[in-house]
Amino acid sequence: MALYADLHRHLGGSVVPRILWRYFQRHDDHLAQRFPKYNEFEEFYTRERSSLDEYLELHTLVESVQTAKTLPYFIYRLIRGAYIFENLAYLELRYTPYYRTAEHLSEFERIEQMAEIVEIVGKASQVKEYPMITSQILCMHTRLPYQVNKAIVDLAASRPDYVCAIDVAGGDSHLAQRLDEFVSLYKYARSLGIKTTGHLFETTNGCYPELLPYLMRIGHGIQIPLKYPELLKEVAQLQQCLEICPTTYFKTGTLEEISQLKIVFDRCFEAGVDIAICTDNAGLHNVRLPFEYENLLTQDVIDFAQLESCQDAAFRHAFAWPYQQRPASLLTGLLKETYPDEQLVNSH
């Protein structure tokens, strides 16, 4: 039995449209009136956007309803879905804690409240009926000022029980104006022993090799094999894993053809760069992890052996997976004990 790991999933984009729409109907008059019919909402929510920036705007719709009070409601449903429909044994959930704090508070008070949010997300992710190992990645944001991003790094360092790493979100093209600042934040994070990933080399406007040495994994990174294959050698040497989220690139208009994704996988395999296949925004896309796997197979982007090596890589590069092996090998031993080989032969 195969169980999976998802290393790149946003808390905001992980709410499936049905859950979000039902929440509006039950709890939010204004949004319920804006989207009276489910089908229309699903169409609006999941349709392709023309750019990454336009696509990221949708996150603000979800962020506005994910507050300290409502987060347990959404996270319970997220964990339930991931357990029942996606066979996840491991999930790293990422978000910008500042954007879950109360908007009417001052910046100082919002920074203070971030710790409470991390605690709420951590507790809500532990659901007794749907056991899986979860951890949080706190995202700095390209729209937030330095002091807030630094507070996010400090918070990550102070809660290793709930937080495994930091990231930077908000659209990779916006890193340009403040590159030195983010380099120094990542340096600072590494000096505190915090693990790192970052949305980088996702679009052609987000290619900043200056940040690469500070990352242990790369959020997307598809432009490296596509446009800068000469960097792959260094990526392989640093053992950085690419978090590839296939559906995203077509929703954001970053890629047009599935054949481009084949180049990404082929060049990485050839260079010895690990890839973890992830969902990014499983709810927003309405595509769950096993379907990402299946799509890549049916569209001939990868074969079964390559899929398995990506699934292995996901557990190997997971920041908070506590075992040496992926769970499949543990379970296989268990199943073999229950059904010894001879019985299996005899039953055929």
Q: Whole-number minimum distance, CB 26 to Zn ion, in Å?
A: 28
- Smaller CB distance to Zn ion: residue 86 or 202? 202
Q: Whole-number minimum distance, CB 98 to Zn ion, in Å?
A: 17
- Smaller CB distance to Zn ion: residue 280 or 292? 280
- Smaller CB distance to Zn ion: residue 86 or 280? 280
In angstroms, the CA 335 to CA 331 distance is 6
Contact window for Zn ion (CB under 5 A) among 56-64, 126-134, 205-213, 273-281: 273-281
What Å distances lie between residue 14 and 19, 93, 164, 343, CA to CA? 10, 9, 19, 43
Q: Whole-number minimum distance, CB 278 to Zn ion, in Å?
A: 8
Q: Whole-number minimum distance, CB 288 to Zn ion, in Å?
A: 16
In angstroms, the CA 119 to CA 98 distance is 13
Query: Does 167 help bind Zn ion (rule: CB under 5 A)?
Result: no
Contact window for Zn ion (CB under 5 A) among 84-92, 226-234, 272-280, 334-342: 272-280
The residue count for binding Zn ion (CB under 5 A) is 1
Q: Is 152 helix (H, G, I), strand (E, B) or coil?
A: helix
Q: Whole-number minimum distance, CB 139 to Zn ion, in Å?
A: 8
| Residues 173/177/179/182 CA torsion (nearest 10 deg) | -90
Q: Whole-number minimum distance, CB 249 to Zn ion, in Å?
A: 11
Q: Whole-number minimum distance, CB 245 to Zn ion, in Å?
A: 7
Question: The dihedral of CA 133, 81, 98, 114: what is its sign?
Answer: negative
- Smaller CB distance to Zn ion: residue 274 or 280? 280
Q: Which of 320, 303, 251 is nearest to 279 (CA)?
A: 251
Considering only the C-alpha atoms of the chain, give the largest distance between any 2 of them, rounded to a whole number of Å: 71
Residue nearest to Zn ion (CB): 280
Residue 108 CB coordination number (10 Å): 10
In angstroms, the CA 298 to CA 223 distance is 23
Angle made by CA atoms 328, 333, 338, in degrees to the nearest 5 = 120
Q: Whole-number minimum distance, CB 145 to Zn ion, in Å?
A: 21
278-297 footprint of Zn ion as x/- string (CB under 5 A): --x-----------------
- Smaller CB distance to Zn ion: residue 172 or 274? 172
295-334 footprint of Zn ion as x/- string (CB under 5 A): ----------------------------------------
Q: Which helix (H) or strand (E) is 169 found in, with range?
A: strand 163-169
In angstroms, the CA 198 to CA 147 distance is 19
Contact window for Zn ion (CB under 5 A) among 28-36, 100-108, 174-182, 276-284: 276-284
Q: Are 214 and 183 in contact, with CB atoms under 8 Å apart?
A: yes
Residues contributing to the site for Zn ion (CB under 5 A): 280
